[in-house]
Amino acid sequence: MTTDQVVSEEETAAELELERTASTYRSLYEHWERCHWSPLAIDYREDRRTFEAMSEEERDGFVWMFANRFHAEFNVARLLAPFLLAAPSWELQLLLATQVADEHRHLNAVLRVYEEVFGVRGGIAAVKALADSHLDPVSKILLYDSLEEWTLPLLERQDEDTFTAAVFAYHLIGEGVVARTGQHLAAAQYAKFQGFPGLTAGQRLVSRDEARHIGIGVTYVRQRMESEPEHTRELIGSLAEKLFALAATALETANTRMSDLVVSGYGVDPHAFYEEAMRLTHIRLRSIGFLDG
């Protein structure tokens, strides 16, 4: 399967539209129905040959990068259940149910990469053990610990402010900033090394799904911004302030403790990763009406 088979320029433009403007829940659901795909259809044979031909340092960088990919998919799939319980409407609950299916499909796609490209045997237990051994402090604090802090309260409190905070953290920051930054930089790495048609095709399909997920967050939070502007602005402002402080701490940690690792995995230094994340953060804040422009 090639990227030409799974994406077109028109589809890319449609993804950007989903991420940056509010939609209707119906249109987001219809997008899901139109865009089913199977991780079993992706051919990784050429990717395996390319991976085996890389230097040891290059392979180590790829495996570290995919550890972040595994943890992202594993954790977001696990953390979605509380959203279903707290969804304030049936239409939104339906969309979140489709997202649960998407995230588990994405996780299965990552497991195939570990097995068929990296040669890891033993199923998800073996993959998790390997990914855990590559878990870095920045990813742990910035994404996984923070996501839990902002989403698990939904198990105890299902009021709309708690739900809004969780959607902002999960859909707009977790998927819309951190995951998107990693995907953009990983795509450049695939192009640099060439010979990764399966990884490229798989990421494009995942990216199309995640544009819809980001769109769910944009649509919901923008509705709250319009119905309760002052209250919602205060809530989002408080969350954004915590986010910026956390990102600055993460950048300092990355610069001092793992700069070489970031370069080997993503092909850029930590500051470039941070700059891309901040660019996307401002796009997300504009998309929900928090910032002008």
Q: Rounded distance, CA 184 to CA 201, Å?
A: 14
User: Which residues 6+ apart lie within 8 Å of 285 measured at CB?
Assistant: 236, 240, 291
Q: Rounded distance, CA 98 to CA 32, Å?
A: 7
Domain count for the chain:
1
Residue at 3 is within a domain = no
User: Which residues 6+ apart lie within 8 Å of 291 measured at CB?
Assistant: 282, 285
CA 190 to chain CA mean position, Å: 18
Residue at 230 is within a domain = yes
pLDDT at 6: 44
Least-confidence region, from 52-56, 152-156, 266-270, 281-285: 266-270
Residue at 118 is within a domain = yes
Residue at 293 is within a domain = no
Residue at 104 is within a domain = yes
Domain enclosing residue 192, as ranges: 8-286
Q: Rounded distance, CA 152 to CA 167, Å?
A: 12
Residue at 2 is within a domain = no
Higher-confidence residue of 152 and 258: namely 152
For residue 37 the two structure tokens come to 């795909």
Average pLDDT over residues 187-200: 86
Provide the CATH number for the domain around residue 100: 1.10.620.20
The label of the residue with tokens 């092909």 reads 267
Q: Kind and range of the H or E element at 82? A: helix 81-86
pLDDT tens figures, 17-56 = 889 899 999 999 999 999 999 999 999 999 999 999 999 9
